[in-house]
Amino acid sequence: MRKLCIFLLAFILVIQIYLMSSKNIFSIYYDSYRNNFIEKKDNIDESNLISAKVVDNYNGLIRDIFLINKGKLDNIKENSFVINSEGLVGQVVKTYDHYSVVRSIFSHKTKIAIETNGCYGTLGVEYNRFVIDDLINCDDINVNDAVFTSKYNYSLSNILIGYIYKIKSHKLYIKPSVNKYKIHNVGVIIDDL
C-alpha cells in the first residue's frame, strides 16, 4: 500500500511538472482562415489570465450571453476581455461570487474598438455579420488583413478578432477567428481596469 501511495504521488508530480512546462494555449492562435498558426500580438502576462470553463452556453450554441465558472472571488471584474486560443470570445458584463456573465462577441450589442494596419473603428454586429464602421486612418487595408482590439478598449489591446473578408461602402466585413460552436475553455484577462 505504501509503494502504491508513493507511486501515485510521483505520478501526480510528473503530471504537474508537464502541465507547467507545456506551452500556454494562449501563446499562439490557430489561424483557420489562412490554415496556419500565428503568434499572438498581445502582451498578455500569464499572471493576468484566469482559466475558466463555459458552464452554460445554450446547448453548445453561444448566443448573446454565456456563463463561466469564475467570479468575484477569483478576481474577475466587469469589462474584462474573455479569450480562447482562437481569439476574442467576449467581455464580462456581470460578476457574482462564483460565476460571471459574459457577452459574446456574436451579440447584436457588441461594440468593440478595433485596429487593423493603423486603421481604427468600431466592431458591431449587423444581421449576424461582424461589421466595422466609423473608420479612421484607413489608407492601407486589404481583404484578409487581421483585425485586433485597439488601445481604446477597457482592457488590453491587440487581441485577435478576425479577418477582413469584404470592403464595401466604407465598411469592413469581418470573419471571426473564433468558432462559436467550440467555445468551452476560456481565459479571462484580469488587467487592472
Q: Kindly state whether residues 75 and 140 are assigned to the same domain.
A: no
3-state secondary structure (DSSP) of residue 4? helix
SS3 of the chain: helix, strand, coil, percent, to 5: 15, 45, 45
Which value, to the nearest 10 degrees, does the dihedral of the CA atoms of residues 100, 131, 108, 178 take? -40
3-state secondary structure (DSSP) of residue 74? helix
Any bridge partners for residue 126, and if so which? 129
Whether the Cβ atoms of residue 190 and residue 80 lie closer than 8 Å to each other: yes
Q: Kindly state whether residues 88 and 129 are assigned to the same domain.
A: no
The CATH number that applies at residue 118 is 2.40.10.350
Query: 141 lies in which domain range?
Result: 112-176
Q: Kindly state whether residues 184 and 96 are assigned to the same domain.
A: yes
The CATH number that applies at residue 185 is 2.40.10.340
The three-state DSSP-derived secondary structure of 4-65 is: HHHHHHHHHHHHHHHHHHCCCCCCEEEECCCCEEEECCCCCCHHHEEEEEEEECCCCCCCCE
The length of the chain is 193
Q: Kindly state whether residues 76 and 64 are assigned to the same domain.
A: yes
Residue 12 domain-assigned? no
Residue 135 domain-assigned? yes
Residuewise pLDDT in 10s, the chain (193 residues): 766 666 656 555 555 444 443 334 344 444 443 443 344 444 566 667 899 999 876 654 556 888 999 999 999 999 888 998 899 999 999 999 999 999 989 888 888 888 888 888 899 988 888 998 888 877 788 899 999 988 776 556 788 999 999 988 788 999 999 988 888 899 998 865 4
